[in-house]
Amino acid sequence: MSNVIVQPSSTRPRKYNVIGTRPVRHDGVDKVTGKAIYAADLSLPNMAQGAYLRSPHAHARIISIDTSQAEAMPGVLAVATSADLPDPWDKTEELGEGCINYAHLSGNVLARKKALYRGHAVAAVAATDIHTAQQAARQIKVEYEVLPAVTWVLDAMEEDAPLLHDNLFTQTLGEKPTKPSNIGQHIHFEQGDIEQGFAEADVVIEREYRTETVHQGYIEPHASVALWNEDGRLKIWTATQGSFTVRQQLAELLKIPVSKITVVPCEIGGGFGGKIAVYEPPVAAVLSRKCGRPVKLAMRRDEVFEGTGPTPGSFMRVKMGATKEGRLTAAKAWLAYDAGAFPGGMIGPGSMCVFSCYDIPNATVDGYDVVLNKPKTQAYRAPGATQAALATETVIDEIAVELGIDPVDFRLQNAAKEGTRRVDGPTYPRIGLVETLQALKESEHWNSPLEGPNRGRGVACGFWFNAGLKSSAAANVNDDGTVTLVEGSPDIGGTRTSLAMQLAETLGIAAEEVHPQVVDTDSVGYTDVTGGSRVTFSTGLAAHKAALDIQDQMIKRAAELWECQPDDIQVDAGTYGYNDHKQTFKELAVELSSTGEAIVGRAAVNPQGSTNAFSANIVDVEVDPETGKVKILRFTTAQDAGKAIHPSYVEGQMQGGSVQGIGWALNEEYFYDDRGAMKNASFLDYRMPTSYDVPMIETIIVEVPNPDHPFGVRGVGEVSIVPPPAAITNAIHQATGLRMHHLPISPPRLHQAIAERNGQ
Amino acid sequence: MATIFIPAPLQDLTGGLAEVELEAVSLGEVIARLEARFPGIKDRLCDDDQLSPALQASINHVMTRQMRAEVGPDSEVHFLPAIGGG
């Protein structure tokens, strides 16, 4: 096993003192000693406990809700239904990480006229204790008219499918439809001449794929505590990826100004995109307003599975053609992703990513966003890209086999590079896919033999955009020469430390001399969500600029002290000098603290470019032909990180995404019965990989610096989930001779395919 | 002049033109000039006077939804689906 950092000869690495080192994370002690505070840990004086009532039906009209019996129970303090939420705006707003329609969001938080999926929240109760709240929720009488449900994307697209929303008209840049349907959006891209492209191909492969609904599987269930004060101010402690996004959603859903709301981001036990849209915060807020007490509302695991947003199930058809010399000439994709109960799923990025690893002169993509009777889907680590990569990367593999070309060489031959025009239009700036594939090709893993029966090796690559967006930071120089960094990005993957390191590098001090704090929405400038792999890039840029602000102030103050001009002062690796004067940052900071005002650095940034991340995998598997079980023997992931600020955290993101991708490939899926009820809503039955299922994931960090960041940072949090399912599918083909087209390739599914192949 | 890439579903309004060159200093002006030349195109791209929430624009690799976003003489402008991340 190895972890390797590769700096391609095409780049000119800079020398750093802090960046690239591996200091102990600032929040490490709190987390390993159990002292970190999560939302469910909070206990406020006189706090009530909340519980939900959820729909037992996948699709039903709500005729009436009678809460009288529940309200009469001793210990019950308040009951909330959608009637307690203001009438929602039919307004769609960009929240920094995708758009939210408030009418849909409000209807998802508490069902209005219809329950649209099993587990859809219908009402909630606050009581003096959790047991009373749960018991009271069961006493709420809801009269339903049960309607036919649809849970498969192609069924939902049929003309005669049960219609979820009678006001949903397909959003398209073409002619507006006149009839409602379950198709929320149709996306169409064209590049070149697709017919000509396929006519030029010597090999053309077309395949169909299906993937099932998969949950992010974060270990911490959703939880919030709300306190709606008599003065009209609302304070929320919550598990979220974006405190300012929660504030904005609450303001819109409750129709109160953002200035009346404070959101405190607690420590977060994973999110992966699933903790951006709100579920329980507005409900806890309404209950708190009604009962005049703080209210805690925390979900159970089954509620997380059935009532929050997983990633879409999908149907995909991909056709690609290449010349016998191995040059891709044409590609065509038809993608249908389920959006869950409300439109606005992951089809946009899926359509943009499906061919984004390759330079293909002629291509078309059609993508459909389809509503059906499952929970509203949400982002999940590179949302939409993993499904699409399964289709493209397995067709690519099949073409390479057909042409007798090494699969890495075939990818290198066609890899996107600077100047390549994607099928959706834009051309790439400097990117690192070629270097990432080259690193994979030169790895010890790729150059070692794989021997033994029923074993196979597969490769695949993947792309994800990554975002910039708004971030703010402030940094206070303390009397002892340390610096407190105040920022607003909830820390999911060690970002406190990666931000502190960028500030430290800029100031020329040690990472341990910086104390990073993630603070509430009243205590820092607006900061978009922790998502889109953006925090180390964008909030890191804010930390860097705050440090430059401090440095500027230190220079001015030192010039006053040393009676010279600011331009006379030299700063070198944190040492300030002028003639005989020479002081470290710490020495100067201590001296300055007693000679004038405090030094506070500030920055707010809004970088808009994408940081363009690429990842590639090699995986070795062994298939048990008797059971269909797939064992991962060895797994290597290579990824362009631009510049790894803290290599251990980059490796952690690469390994974590790989393991999630292994889960998609081999086990994870929602099982629905014919009435749309999920049958495996627990971690016992929803099979995620554990440490017993995977080997140590080997990592190769490739550093092709991002020209749009002072340290070259690219986002690293998401793309690692993209290639694993395709790489594993390709490895299973080599092991068994079978091309699998349906994820997950669980033991029953693979066993059946083997049996059918063997004529059993 | 800036080059505006016309998404395929809008090319029924541009007589099949996939690229249009025009002079504009902002995204809003790009859309206004497209509308003047190809009536009806603004209605497909915008809700009221804002870019449709389902869309974003790419101006020389920079993603934006701001109608005031700067467009230069050598800019490439694309209209793309809005995306989120995890």
Assess if residue A7 is contained within a domain.
yes
Across A404-417, average pLDDT: 98
- The answer to whether A472 touches A526, Cβ cutoff 8 Å, is yes
- CA A416 to CA A355: how far, in whole Å? 9
Q: Please say which residue of A570, A605, A640 terminates a domain.
A: A605
Same domain, A758 and A633: yes
A565 and A675 in a single domain? The answer is: no
Strands B19-22, B2-5: pairing kind: antiparallel
Helix (H, G, I), strand (E, B) or coil at A682: coil
Distances in whole angstroms, Cα of residue A514 to Cα of each of A483, A508, A536, A648: 5, 11, 16, 19
Q: Is the pLDDT of residue B81 over 50?
A: yes
- Please check whether residues A516 and A575 belong to one and the same domain: yes
Locus of tokens 């006053």: A560
Q: Determine the structural domain holding residue A573 and report its residue range.
A: 468-605
- Tell me if A466 sits within 8 A of A714, measured CB to CB: yes
* Domain residue ranges in chain B: 2-81
Closest-CA distance of chain B to residue A419, Å: 11
Query: What is the count of structural domains for chain A?
Result: 2
pLDDT one-digit tens code per residue, A17-55: 999 999 999 999 999 999 999 999 999 999 999 999 999
Please indicate whether, in this complex, the C-beta atoms of B80 and A94 are within 8 angstroms of each other.
no
Nearest CB partner across the interface for B82, out of A98, A174, A383: A98
Same domain, residue pair A669 and A686: yes
Do A524 and A658 reside in the same domain of the chain?
A: no
Which of A333-337, A623-627, A708-712, B30-34 is least confident?
A708-712
Shortest Cα–Cα distance, A351 to chain B (Å): 9
d(CA A183, CA A99): 17
A90 lies within 8 A of chain B by CB: no
Do A534 and B85 make contact, defined as CB atoms within 8 angstroms?
yes
Share of chain A above pLDDT 90, in %: 93
Q: Which residues of A touch B65 (CB under 8 A)?
A: 94
Instruction: Name the more confident of A485 and A11.
Output: A485
The Cα of B16 is separated from the nearest Cα of chain A by a number of Å equal to 12
Among A21-25, A120-124, A590-594, the least confident range: A590-594
Residue ranges in A404-494 assigned as alpha helix (H): 407-414, 433-441
Supply the pTM of this predicted model: 0.96
CATH at A752: 3.30.365.10
pLDDT digits (tens, 9 = 90+) for A188-227: 999 999 999 999 999 999 999 999 999 999 999 999 999 9
Residues A692 and A722 in one domain: yes
**CA angle (A95 as vertex; A92, A97 as ends), nearest 5:** 115
Dump the DSSP string for A314-372.
EEEEEEEEE-TTS-EEEEEEEEEEEEETSS--SHHHHHHHTTTTB--SEEEEEEEEEE-
A-chain residues within 8 Å CB-CB of B53? 92-94, 99, 101
> Mean pLDDT, to the nearest integer, of A568-573?
95
Residue A438 sits in the same domain as residue A475? no
Q: Which of B9, B44, B80 sits opposite A188 (nearest CB)?
A: B9
Tell me the count of A-B CB pairs closer than 8 A.
118
Q: Do A493 and A452 sit in the same domain of this protein?
A: no
What's residue A1's pLDDT?
47
Look at residues A605, A640, A669 and tell me which one is the last residue of a structural domain: A605
- CA distance linking residue B26 with residue B58, whole number of Å: 12
At A366, the pLDDT band (50, 70, 90 cuts) reads very high
More confident residue, A307 or A174: A307
Q: Mean pLDDT, chain A, as a whole number?
A: 96
With beta carbons less than 8 A apart as the criterion, state whether B9 and A172 touch.
yes
Residues 6+ apart with CB under 8 A from A9: none
Tell me which of A605, A640, A667 is where a domain ends: A605
The CATH classification of domain B2-81, taken from the options 3.20.20.450, 3.40.50.720, 1.10.240.10, 3.10.20.30: 3.10.20.30
Q: Check residue A732 and give its pLDDT.
A: 98
Per-residue model confidence as pLDDT tens digits over A593-646? 888 899 999 999 998 777 789 999 999 999 999 999 999 999 999 999 999 999
Token code pair at residue A512:
């341990």
Q: pLDDT tens-digit profile of A719-744?
A: 999 999 999 999 999 999 999 999 99
Whether residue A732 sits in one domain with residue A640: yes
For CA atoms B81, A152, A355, A528, give the dihedral sign: positive
What was the pLDDT predicted at B85? 60
- Helix/strand/coil (H/E/C) assignment for every residue in A492-510: CCCHHHHHHHHHHHHHCCC
Q: Is A426 on the interface with B (CB under 8 A)?
A: yes
CB spacing of B82 vs A174 below 8 angstroms: no
The ipTM value here is 0.93
Q: Is residue A751 part of a domain?
A: yes
The rounded distance, in Å, linking the Cα atoms of A533 and A493 is 10
Regarding whether A590 and A616 lie in a shared domain, the answer is no
Q: For residues A157 and A181, what is the distance between their CA atoms, to the nearest angstrom?
A: 8
Q: How much is the pLDDT for A96? A: 63
**Would you give the distance in Å from CA B85 to the centre of its chain?**
23
Same domain, A559 and A632: no
Q: Look up residue A174 and give its amino acid.
A: G
Mutate to test the interface with B, among A608, A610, A660 (most CBs of B within 10 A): A608
Give the max Cα distance, chain B.
39
A173 vs B9, B18, B78: nearest CB:
B9
- Closest residue in B to A715 (Cα) is B85
- Higher-confidence residue of A599 and A12: namely A599
Between A526 and A595, residue with greater pLDDT: A526
Nearest CA in chain B to A383: B85
Pair A506, A598 in one domain: yes
